[in-house]
Amino acid sequence: MRLIAEDGSREWLSLSTYAARLTPEDWEEVVWPSAEGGQKLYAHWVQTWVRKLGPTLLLITCHDRQGPLKSVRYWGSTVLDLEAQTLVDILAIRWEVETFFECEKDLLGSDHYQVMTAKAILRFWTLTACLLCFLDEQRAEMDLPRATCGDARRLIQDEHRSNLLNWLEARFREGFTVEQVRSQLALSSCSSARLIESY
């Protein structure tokens, strides 16, 4: 980032170096809005020039202004005339959007799909919403503090793998051959494929 002193001299320094210079009085209390009622943070903002971004309103946040570098985060905006709390409000909305898409990619592999029509998009997002709702309900039933939808998905996958192994063991104990088991699995796979195609 670039700082311009009162005498017109210019200084280039890293964000971490600038943050290390800040005193407790340089931070302002803000609230990061959330469904749980908001979280108190401290913010410092300055208009500067950032390489590859150009004119930037730089917002630095932390949880403890006495030791800010332990939890410091840097945010940049090209809208230069915002107050700290206004920028935090905007960032909170953007953060929800970004984490939602990251969750979609991580949990559901949404980045592996390509849909081109309005009907396909509607179907895709309907299925996605149903799956997320299901995972969220499973997460709530886990009765674990800080459990995530990812934890719920892993628990369900582990259960399904165990069910498959138990089913295979039972078939082989009954005297089924590998070909017979493969045939049953193929029939199950075809039924699933037909169900997807019919949707």
**Whether the predicted pLDDT of 128 surpasses 70:** yes
Provide the total of helices (H) and of strands (E) in the chain, helices listed first.
5, 6
Q: Is the pLDDT of residue 52 over 60?
A: yes
Average pLDDT for 46-62:
91
Per the CB < 8 A criterion, the answer to whether 19 and 68 are in contact is yes
Work out whether the CA dihedral 121, 126, 128, 129 comes out positive or negative.
positive
* Residues pairing with 56 in the sheet: 48
Q: Is residue 115 within 8 Å of residue 121, measured between CB atoms?
A: yes
Tell me, what's the pLDDT at 43? Answer: 94
d(CA 15, CA 74): 8
DSSP per position, 159-170 = HHHHHHHHHHHH
What is the dihedral sign for C-alpha 169, 170, 175, 177? negative
Over 70: is that where the pLDDT of 192 sits? Answer: no
Between 44 and 106, where is the model more confident?
Answer: 44
Could you tell me the two tokens for 104? 């979609």
Name the DSSP class of 109.
-
pLDDT at position 197 over 50? no
Beta strands, E only, the chain: 2-4, 10-12, 28-32, 39-50, 54-62, 73-77
Q: Among candidates 44, 41, 37, 42, which has minimal Cα distance to 15?
A: 44
Q: What is the mean pLDDT of the chain?
A: 86
**Predicted TM-score of the model (pTM):** 0.62
- Residues comprising the chain, all counted: 199
